[in-house]
Amino acid sequence: MQIEILKELVRNLAGKNADIIVDVLKDKKDVNEFKIAEKLKLTINQTRNILYKLSANEIVSFIRKKDKKKGWYIYYWTLNIQKSIARFIILKKKEISEMRNLISSYENRHFYFCPNCSIELNEENSLLHNFVCPECGKLLQFDTHEKKVQELRHKIESAEQQLKKAEEEFSKIGEEKIKEFEKTKERIKRKKAKLRKKVKQKKAEKQKLKKKKPKEKKAKKIKKAKEQKHKKQKKTKKIKGKTKRKR
């Protein structure tokens, strides 16, 4: 249903053949404009015209990057599904309102038509022309617009069903976004907890090292003292040995 909504919207805004763009951009991000043109089988300028029309209505968004080899900018396009469905809802409501106003006009005002020229005139204009067709001179006939009113009511019914489905889709996306937001929140929490754990571990390690250092220093001092004592003892032994030999 989502694709149907998007395609109808794109057709209304950018023309009949532009709806293929939905298939090209759906579930993708930052699509190269040259690839889009290739899929649409259009020139890059024709493709850009379609994309600019859609961008003006916030259906698509873009980023641009400079090609290092060629030196020009290439545009990368993304379909804004939530904004697109919101736009569809606005336009559909407007369409329903216009059709209701038209029914009200047909039911509350009188219209006359020429069966020969298919010209339709309201009551004021019909009076000005004495209920005679200004084109062929034939007598104008009263038009009840029963068929048109029935057609419009069917269209309103169909449009209201589409509107309901679009609103459901929009709320689904909203719920999904909330879920995504909650998930990202959880991920951030987990990352923060891990970082806190690492920081605590590093602090604990530093404290251990601080405690070890004085002990190590003491051990080193004792070792040095022993070594020095041992050297002194060796020296004294050598001196005693020499004095004995002299005697």
Strand pairing class (141-143; 73-79):
unpaired
- Domain membership flag for residue 154: yes
- Domain membership flag for residue 238: no
Alpha carbons within 13 angstroms on the beta-carbon side of residue 147 total 1
Task: Choose one of 79, 95, 115: the last residue of a domain.
Answer: 79
Residues 169 and 100 grouped into a single domain: yes
- Domain membership flag for residue 219: no
Q: Which domain holds residue 40?
A: 2-79
| pLDDT tens per residue across span 218-243 | 666 677 767 776 676 666 666 666 55
* Residue among 148, 140, 157 at smallest CA distance from 106: 148
The predicted model scores a pTM of 0.64
Least confident of 56-70, 108-122, 173-187, 195-209: 173-187
Q: What is the DSSP string of 161-203?
A: HHHHHHHHHHHHHHHHHHHHHHHHHHHHHHHHHHHHHHHHHHH
- Does residue 208 or residue 105 have the better pLDDT? 105
pLDDT band at 182 (very low <50, low <70, confident <90, very high): low
Residues 168 and 94 grouped into a single domain: yes
Give CA–CA dist 157/165, Å, rounded: 13
| pLDDT tens per residue across span 113-172 | 888 887 888 888 888 888 888 888 888 888 878 888 999 999 999 999 999 999 888 888
pLDDT of 246 over the 80 cut? no
Neighbours of 27 (CB within 10 A): 7
